[in-house]
Structure 1
Amino acid sequence: MAKTYGQSQKTLLIEQILTERTDEDHKLSAEEIGRILEEEYEGLGAERKAIYRYIDALKDADIDVCHESDGYFIASRTFELPELKLLVDAVQSSKFITEKKSAELIKKLGTLASTHQAKQLRRHVYAFGRIKSMNESIYRIIDRIHTALLENRQITFLYFDWNEKKEKIYRHDGVEYAVDPLLLCWDDEKYYLIARDVRSDRIKHYRVDKMEKICVTDAVATSPKLTADEIAGYNDRHFGMFGGDVVKVVLRCRNELAGVIVDRFGKDIPFRPTSDGYFTVTVKVAESVHFFTWILNFGGGVSIASPESTKERFKTFVADTNKWVNE
């Protein structure tokens, strides 16, 4: 027995047809819409005048249906095609998202475009040497962290590293970590949880893809929340998301490295030019091996002007590195 459709159902079917099959470059005439209804919906047919009425109803409902000489099409969508391409590129090239989840997300993004546009979204994105995450449970982990942040709860989890045999080795001999979550942070294509460790009462950074068996507990997180200023500059201060005491340092930089400093610390950092082709900047950084390594990248183009304590620790780091290289 053929299925019967009411007027509102027919209107929704036509919206679905137009949404899935039309865009600015691919249009359908009233006759073509009628033929699709006849052939694909159990003999459901509609005269041209009826189709015009259904399309008028869609327009009355603020659906952006446009008509040109060669047919009807959906003119605007929640996401424009360039925006969807940008999202697909970000998903495909992200090391954080697994291959399986990347394919699922790209397929879902394709449903926001016409079938013709979706083919463009499936283009291959070249990300040479890209190593994707292997942790398929990472999305549930992130969801639970967000829940804990929203409800101001502590979380517990296991944390692991890889050994030379590519085996998981759990830190703390497999004993659960208990932390007050403060912030989820993205740095160098990795997701980090910024949290205060309950046992040591120190703020630490945890790679989300190395967390397992996360549980949102009933214990209330008592650590003070990070301020807006602390959150805004967190990535800038913490090189490679390595912890360390935050200190105010003056950096002496060659003029041609101005772009590097802007990329790292932003345009609001004042530059103080000197007369020898250099300028100085004052920034707050977490003093760590990664910060010292970052300075070495520029072969003398960036140096620490002050404070003396940080300069001395940097010199010790360089001396230790030279000793290791020459062994």
Structure 2
Amino acid sequence: MATETKEKLIRVLQLMQTTDEKTPMNATQIVEKLSTEYELEGVNRKSIYRDIALLQDCGYDIVQTEDKRSGWYMNTHAFADWQIKIMMDAVQQAKCISINEAMQIRENLLNLTSKRGRSRFSHMMMPNSGNVNAKENIGAYVETMLEAIYQHRKIEFQYTEINDDMKKVLRREGKKYLLNLYAIYWSDNNYYLIGVHDNHDNLVNYRLDRIVNLTMSDERAVDAKEKVGVNPEMIIQEYIEKSVDHFQGELIRVEVEYEPGQAANAILYDFAGENIRVRKLENGRCRAVFQKMDSVTLVGWFMQHAGMYKIIGPEKLREEVCRELNLASEKYKQQ
């Protein structure tokens, strides 16, 4: 196959990747695009039919329209537009990547849809201030960690903490940490590194946005089964639930009383989920029962909404929230 013919086939494929069911392209349009966009002159219309057939034989999901005169379109893209939308929204909110990295990811995602699909995202806002403070090298760090896990190598880095002046400083005078990395976990718009140090067998976690000077070590990583246990995936998942997501404690039955209303109903439903049970009281108020993990997060939620919901039970949770509210009140009374 001549070089020019090979290029034409590739260009036809690229043009097909910009189409979808509502924006097909026929042979005449393809020939015109090959001329104006790729400077391929004198292309025979009939050769386009052969190119399309060859691409179909190679497994590309190219479909001819019902009237045939409208041409063909790519029936299946790498991702559906709704999937691209979800990924773009996640990137836009991510705190751990910079604006430039977010813009690059956004452009890469848009290249995975049709020309019409791309125009459907014109309403999308540019990456927002959530990305502003991130370092440019976070993407490179993620790539390094993926390669370290693949090659079974340890990673080395320095860790930062916040001092009294609200500045990031190196922890332990710039000590270098050597970690057997077993998982990279996403939680609350941040990445967490889950692993074990050589000198003990307990899992630890580090926030990626607080890491600097991360590199892949030449040292071979210790297998997770040797450091963590015979079922490391389950053990790591349990550790994440208790130590990263802060879901500590047992599942408990929570009962609250509140004044029903649009805001109160929606906030409680979002927090408690679909299994919430509600009954109306004679005084016009409501009582709701649901299950939640007994955790610091639970106490914090009730403190945040203390003016809206009154805890009826369990008594232990009620007392803990009252104690925290009293402590907060005393601090505000202090001069």
Indicate the TM-score class for this superposition, using the shorter chain for normalisation.
0.7 to 0.9
Who is 2:49 aligned against? 52
Instruction: Tell whether the 8 Å contact from 2:256 to 2:313 is kept in structure 1 after alignment.
Output: no
Return closer, same or farther for 1:312/1:213 CA change in 2, 3 Å cut-off: farther
Tell me how many residue pairs correspond in the alignment. Answer: 316
1:218 to 217, 220, 228: 220
- Check if 1:192 corresponds to 2:198: no
Who is 1:252 aligned against? 255
- Check if 1:30 corresponds to 2:4: no
| Structure 1 gap ranges (5+) | none
Distance 2:328 2:122 in 1: 46
Q: Return the letter of the residue paired with 1:323.
A: E
| Structure 2 gap ranges (5+) | none
Distance 1:322 1:191 in 2: 35
CA shift for structure 1 position 119:
3.8
SS in 2 for 1:118: helix
Instruction: Tell whether the 8 Å contact from 2:95 to 2:130 is kept in structure 1 after alignment.
Output: yes
Who is 1:231 aligned against? 237
1:1-327 equivalences in 2 (<5 Å): 4-5=2-3, 7=5, 9-20=7-18, 22-39=19-36, 41=38, 43-63=40-60, 64-67=62-65, 68-125=68-125, 130-147=130-147, 155-163=155-163, 167-179=167-179, 181=181, 183-195=183-195, 203-214=203-214, 215-216=216-217, 217-220=219-222, 222-224=227-229, 228=234, 231=237, 234=240, 241=244, 246-247=249-250, 249-254=252-257, 263-264=270-271, 277-286=286-295, 288=296, 290-299=297-306, 301=309, 303=311, 305-306=313-314, 308=316, 314-327=321-334
Distance 1:317 1:54 in 2: 71
Distance 1:292 1:16 in 2: 55
Instruction: Tell whether the 8 Å contact from 1:88 to 1:109 is kept in structure 2 after alignment.
Output: yes
Instruction: Tell whether the 8 Å contact from 2:12 to 2:30 is kept in structure 1 after alignment.
Output: yes
CA shift for structure 1 position 303:
3.4
SS in 2 for 1:251: strand
Return closer, same or farther for 1:264/1:34 CA change in 2, 3 Å cut-off: same
Distance 1:185 1:303 in 2: 33
Q: Residues 131-185 of structure 1, C-alpha deviation per residue, up to 9 Å, x if partnerless?
A: 5442222223334444555666654432213457664212223223455545433
Instruction: Tell whether the 8 Å contact from 2:12 to 2:51 is kept in structure 1 after alignment.
Output: yes
Distance 1:105 1:189 in 2: 16
Q: Residues 17-38 of structure 1, C-alpha deviation per residue, up to 9 Å, x if partnerless?
A: 3324x33343433223223434
Instruction: Tell whether the 8 Å contact from 2:201 to 2:228 is kept in structure 1 after alignment.
Output: no
Distance 1:146 1:303 in 2: 45
Distance 1:91 1:70 in 2: 37
Distance 1:126 1:8 in 2: 38
Q: TM-score, normalised by structure 2?
A: 0.72
Distance 2:4 2:128 in 1: 53
Instruction: Tell whether the 8 Å contact from 2:99 to 2:131 is kept in structure 1 after alignment.
Output: no
Q: Return the letter of the residue paired with 1:48.
A: R
Distance 1:198 1:249 in 2: 37
SS in 2 for 1:159: strand
Distance 1:47 1:174 in 2: 67
Return closer, same or farther for 1:153/1:70 CA change in 2, 3 Å cut-off: closer
Distance 1:128 1:42 in 2: 39
Distance 2:199 2:333 in 1: 40
Distance 1:285 1:203 in 2: 22
SS in 2 for 1:121: coil
SS in 2 for 1:246: coil
Distance 2:11 2:153 in 1: 46
Q: TM-score, normalised by structure 1?
A: 0.73
Return closer, same or farther for 1:301/1:147 CA change in 2, 3 Å cut-off: farther
Instruction: Tell whether the 8 Å contact from 2:203 to 2:228 is kept in structure 1 after alignment.
Output: no
Q: Return the letter of the residue paired with 1:218.
A: R
Distance 1:197 1:317 in 2: 36
Calculate the aligned-residue CA RMSD, in Å. Answer: 4.1
SS in 1 for 2:101: helix
Distance 1:248 1:196 in 2: 29
Instruction: Tell whether the 8 Å contact from 1:180 to 1:223 is kept in structure 2 after alignment.
Output: no
